[in-house]
Chains A and B, each alone.
Chain A
């Protein structure tokens, strides 16, 4: 495997930090301000995309910033898995920026300058996590993301967002300091390094009971992944403006959590080690529990965003499950699910936001007949649902397919049942929304037949992501290739 020393990962992370002063400086000229955001988002995506050929060619790009501890530096390393995640999040930042304009201006929100600043910071942190070369850098950006998203979650600055903000910080920062940090220090103590490596860095002398404790500490410590019982910050965080929920709480933040767990299981603990003592199975069952229970809770939610949030909790555990299966197909499925679910779920959130901007409706029970009012939005919603449920012709099908193959490969037949059951439950909580939106009698409908879509800035992004969801079913190659390469990098060439 080639190593290329390159500044690209550093720039990809820094670009959205550097744009913050610009955004503040042009705070009074909204068009210029948003132009800065777009410029940064575009450049970021281009930098990330420009690394794809090299990485697909089997190379890794590295940049060490500064050696802060012996054996642990603040360093970036771009491998296939990190690139996959960075690609998804930096592309969706462009789309979400467009959507933000429609949403924030459509609702005439206050504090927009602050909003764009912290959004840019959050994206820096996300890509930073994706490109981390070691656990320390990962933790650094993980925490940066926690704090950068706090002002976004509490954007409305009312009592509800205040209590949600508290819950958010308490769960996320509390668990990372209380569980992940000591586990990380312990790993450093026994192995003398924190660099992610093929098959992990844990010395064989560590007893299984300690390994078990470490795995659990990491699993719950990275609470952004929303593994139960550390999940309840996510529904609370839904008080944020919808673009925040869409990009951060369906893609960036939550997948950073899943990404971290993925990295820890594969790069720190090592697949062979975990399989050897059956720890993967334990994590599988925890994930399975989360998948089923969150889907059941989602069924009972009336707030659209809350239902989406519980759906996200379940889908995140798919990724964790994929990592915990520790087989090539399972890992591929888990990684692909990061991308596939991202596009599907962000579409759904965009739709929820568009509905709110156009009609002010938040609850599902008030959406009967909305399909006639907002046909484009609800069609996109339908496509997004299909993708999340995992039905063709949407991208979600592919990742679930690989996950299912992974369960067979690992002989975890119970997990196969879990995946299938959960898909049914997903269908049960999404499809009725679509059905009642389009098929209802005139009396039942809460809307007149006049068409009234959300502003064009809201509409284009959701069309785009819905379209891409379908496209990814037909052409999953870029992500699939990256994921397959990543599996080789993670497991070693077997």
Chain B
């Protein structure tokens, strides 16, 4: 059984999707427990995988007993085991937290919602584990298609936002597919390990460079890297809050993982950083992404829009940090994948909690929320501080590595962009806090003692996970040293210093 551990995070959610559809026909109430059980098993096996990687190193697994080149190999190493745990944990917490939300928002459509969601997780887990470039494309589309549907399932502007997401997302995925096609032409294989072995012989070919650029462009679309971010803000902010809570922390992070995997494992750092030497150019693109993402966030007046643009800026952090090409930058980038998943989950969950009590997420409607929903706002504040980068929350430490990577590489533009974005985040979040802290006019003014506090918190099923995530931000921060020394440093090739 234990040798099949790498398959479980993919197979279990996949089968559970089937189970939910079948049993849900008779008993829709069963869909949540099944999804919960599936994700729990998946998360536990991911933790088991991590344990195994830590004790005996990276390992390959032939899916269905077929070994490469005939079968599809799954690879588990420090990098993807870590991201897998982060993704599955975020999905699990999101699942628990959105239970009430889903019940209210999708009364009739619980079964399809949970089916789509477990399939979405299946896709993401598959992307993380697979060692085959084409299999990655298929799983990418599994995750994307379910993602489109989860977003489009909502009301109001959600379908339109979902449709735009499909158009952009399909272009992105197709570009990736095209790039893989070129690689196949040049090497005759799609297995990542084989590709890495055969590519050096043809490094000087323009086709390989073209394949690399096309793949990268496709991934940039998928991860919403400015200026290819157009689909993200509307998709995330018009999606039903359950969907945005579940999707926002995961998709972009997994895409960044794919970029890292492709660059480090398939093309190798030699090729990407030395032969092509495009690191500097991409970091400058990241600088633009960070600055523009932050600036656009400033222009928004709805909570979820602001959070969405912050996601765009954060993508710039991770892309830029990775392409600095030194150990500190990459450490920061990988650490930020984990941290940003937690942070994004926290703020979107908090926004979802607020939206259970207020109908609209216009900032002006948030007045007095610190008194009405103190815990949700406190969690939003924790998430905000982490995004700003205040110690000891986790956001500070990844930013620390990113900045020191920038200084080490002499890329002061990137350092400046990070600081600028931190400052903008201060403004953004304090604008929110200020509105929520001050009372609506006519109430609570003057000197009252013993305010009558009509507290109206979100349901406990949502609040408890939210508080857990908020606390986790600090715990992750405090243990980021261990995270880096035990896991992340092995995820980066030794040649990178």
Contact = CB atoms under 8 A, between A and B. Distances in A.
Question: So, do A and B actually touch in the complex, CB under 8 Å?
Answer: yes
Interface of A: 28, 65-70, 73-74, 107-112, 136, 139-140, 143-144, 147, 151, 154, 157-158, 162, 165-166, 169-170, 173-174, 177-178, 181-182, 185-186, 188-189
B445 A157 contact: yes
Contacts of A174: 423, 426
B434 A162 contact: yes
B447 A107 contact: yes
A74 B434 CA distance: 30
B407 A186 contact: yes
Nearest to B433: A150
B392 A74 contact: yes
Interface string B329-345: 00000000000000000
B234 interface: no
Nearest to A107: B447
Interface stretch (B148-156, B180-188, B477-485): B477-485
Contacts of B407: 182, 185-186, 189
A147 B392 contact: no
Contacts of B444: 110, 157
- What DSSP secondary structure best describes chain B's contact surface? helix
A68 B397 contact: yes
A173 B419 CA distance: 11
Contact of A188 (B389, B392, B404): B404
B422 interface: yes
Given A69-B481, A147-B390, A188-B404, A178 B447 contact: no
Interface string B27-44: 000000000000000000
Nearest to B483: A68
B430 A140 contact: no
Contacts of A178: 419, 423
Nearest to B453: A27
A24 to B, nearest CB: 9
Given A70-B484, A174-B426, A181-B389, 12 more contacts: A68-B481, A70-B485, A109-B447, A110-B444, A110-B446, A110-B447, A110-B449, A140-B391, A140-B392, A147-B385, A154-B437, A177-B426
Contact of B397 (A28, A69, A147, A182): A69
A136 B481 CA distance: 13
A181 B482 CA distance: 22
B389 A177 contact: yes
27 contacts: A28-B450, A65-B478, A68-B397, A69-B484, A109-B447, A147-B385, A154-B434, A154-B437, A157-B437, A157-B438, A157-B445, A162-B438, A166-B430, A166-B434, A170-B427, A173-B426, A174-B423, A174-B426, A177-B423, A178-B423, A181-B389, A181-B422, A182-B415, A182-B419, A185-B403, A185-B407, A189-B407
Closest 7 CB pairs of A and B: A140-B391, A68-B481, A110-B448, A67-B481, A185-B403, A143-B390, A177-B422
A332 B178 CA distance: 71
B137 interface: no
A151 B426 contact: no
Contacts of B480: 68-69
A28 B426 CA distance: 33
Contacts of B426: 169-170, 173-174, 177
Contact of A177 (B419, B448, B482, B485): B419
Nearest to A65: B478
Contacts of A70: 481, 484-485
A151 B423 contact: no
Contact of A111 (B385, B388, B422, B451): B451
B446 A182 contact: no
- What DSSP secondary structure best describes chain A's contact surface? helix
Contacts of A157: 437-439, 444-445
Contact of B408 (A73, A154, A189): A189
Nearest to A176: B390
Nearest to A105: B449
Given A178-B419, A178-B423, A185 B481 contact: no
B437 A68 contact: no
Nearest to A179: B419
Contacts of A154: 434, 437-438
**Residue among B419, B446, B449, B484 with the highest chain A CB neighbour number at 10 A:** B449
Interface residues of B, number: 39
A162 B427 CA distance: 13
B456 to A, nearest CB: 18
Nearest to A112: B449
A157 B433 CA distance: 12
Nearest to A108: B447
A104 B400 CA distance: 41
Interface string B377-408: 00000000100111110000100100110011
B447 A74 contact: no
Nearest to A69: B481
A66 B478 contact: yes
B449 A108 contact: yes
A136 B391 contact: yes
A242 B47 CA distance: 53
Nearest to B392: A140
A324 B357 CA distance: 55
B33 to A, nearest CB: 34
A75 to B, nearest CB: 12
Contacts of A139: 391
Contacts of B385: 147
Contacts of A165: 434
A66 B389 CA distance: 18
A170 B481 CA distance: 30
A128 B146 CA distance: 48
Nearest to B402: A185
Nearest to B328: A189
Contacts of B404: 185, 188-189
A74 B426 CA distance: 24
A351 B444 CA distance: 29
A120 B415 CA distance: 35
A71 B484 CA distance: 13
Interface string B454-497: 00000000000000000000000111111011000000000000
B425 to A, nearest CB: 9
A181 B416 CA distance: 11
Contacts of A74: 392, 478
Contacts of A158: 445
Given A110-B448, A181-B419, A189-B408, A69 B437 contact: no
A70 B485 CA distance: 8
**Residue among A65, A67, A107 with the highest chain B CB neighbour number at 10 A:** A67
Contacts of A173: 388, 426
A298 to B, nearest CB: 29
A166 B290 CA distance: 24
A181 B403 CA distance: 9
A463 B421 CA distance: 48
A489 to B, nearest CB: 26
Nearest to B403: A185
A66 B479 contact: yes
Nearest to A28: B450
Nearest to B381: A147
Nearest to A110: B448
B257 to A, nearest CB: 23
A143 B400 CA distance: 15
A162 B478 CA distance: 33
Nearest to B438: A157
Nearest to A174: B423
Nearest to B390: A143
Contact of A143 (B391, B423, B479, B481): B391
Nearest to A173: B426
Contacts of A185: 400, 403-404, 407
B477 A68 contact: yes
A433 B439 CA distance: 38
B256 to A, nearest CB: 22
Nearest to A156: B447
B478 A68 contact: yes
**Residue among B397, B408, B438, B484 with the highest chain A CB neighbour number at 10 A:** B438
Nearest to B416: A182
